Amino acid sequence: MSAYRVVSIALVFFVLLSCQVARSAENGTVERMRRAAEEGNPEVQYNLGLMYLQGRKVSQDRKEAVRWIRKAAEQGHPRAQHRLAVSYLEGNGVMQDSLEAADWYRKAAEQGLPRAQYNLGLLYEQGRGVAENASRAEKWYRRAAEQGFAKAQYNLGLVYERGRGSVNQDYAQAAEWYRKAAKQGMVRAQHNLGVLYAQGRGIAQDEVRAYAWFSLAAAQGSSKAEKNIETLTSRMDPAEIEEAKKLAADLQRN
């Protein structure tokens, strides 16, 4: 047998052995997690549920995922409560049930989880699983927005721009919340902030800043922003456009 063939066989054997060792290690990890989950550890229950949900290190099983996530949620684990709410809203591993979704979102939201606060706000805005209530939607958007959750900041900006529920129309507040979300890269907030600058609503009219924010939104694929750039370009002089491009670059870096 040639030396080359001996080396090749050895390499194949080494790869197979390595795979077997890796599988054994993974199986051992899963079994240790399962034991901890069965002993009632909510963090492990939640993570084990995610593994079944994603098919990571175990065969994907949405019902088994929900079973473990529910155990963690019932112990007050906020991320598990949020994930269980998502499963009910989507009908993923359980029968679709907007009422149950709202209930679990509320549990997580009341513990301060911003994603749950935002999603509960959406349910109130849409009237899914709860009675439509713009004031309660605004309340939960605000709680999430004040924690820096960009989607909630954008939605709160919309609430102020349009005037909903108990909130009076206030373009200055709309601009402020759009700005917070825009700085986190949210394309719709960048576009809407640009519109407010272009129209001078709630903030001093400034086409240079409008162009800059539209540029950032357009770079992320906003066709509305691209059209607005075309409109501004037709009435801005080259020096203003160059200034706007530099400002956009500064905003992108910061």
Total-model pTM: 0.86
pLDDT attached to residue 146: 98
pLDDT attached to residue 26: 58
Cα 130 to Cα 91: distance, rounded to the nearest angstrom = 17
Q: Are residues 103 and 152 in the same domain?
A: no
pLDDT per position as a tens digit, 211-249: 999 999 999 999 999 999 999 999 999 999 999 999 999
Q: Are residues 152 and 109 in the same domain?
A: no
pLDDT attached to residue 193: 98
Q: Are residues 153 and 105 in the same domain?
A: no
- Whether 96 and 88 have beta carbons less than 8 Å apart is answered as yes
pLDDT per position as a tens digit, 11-41: 554 444 433 434 544 566 889 999 999 999 9
Which segments of the chain have a pLDDT < 70?
A: 1-28
Q: What is the count of structural domains for the chain?
A: 2
Measured in whole angstroms, the distance separating CA 14 from the mean position of its chain's CA atoms is: 43
**Does a structural domain hold residue 178?**
yes
Structural tokens at position 247 = 């400002």
pLDDT attached to residue 22: 40
Structural tokens at position 128 = 């899914």
DSSP string computed for 163-192? T-TTPPP-HHHHHHHHHHHHHTT-HHHHHH
**Does a structural domain hold residue 125?**
no
Cα 92 to Cα 75: distance, rounded to the nearest angstrom = 21
pLDDT attached to residue 15: 46
- Whether 92 and 81 have beta carbons less than 8 Å apart is answered as no
- Whether 197 and 205 have beta carbons less than 8 Å apart is answered as yes
CB-CB neighbours of 151 under 10 Å: 21
Q: Are residues 157 and 249 in the same domain?
A: yes
pLDDT attached to residue 5: 60
pLDDT attached to residue 126: 96
CATH of the domain at 198: 1.25.40.10
pLDDT attached to residue 254: 82
Give the count of alpha carbons within 13 A of 101, CB side only: 22
**Does a structural domain hold residue 16?**
no
Q: Domain boundary at 113, 135, 164, which?
A: 113
Q: Are residues 191 and 92 in the same domain?
A: no
Cα 99 to Cα 91: distance, rounded to the nearest angstrom = 12
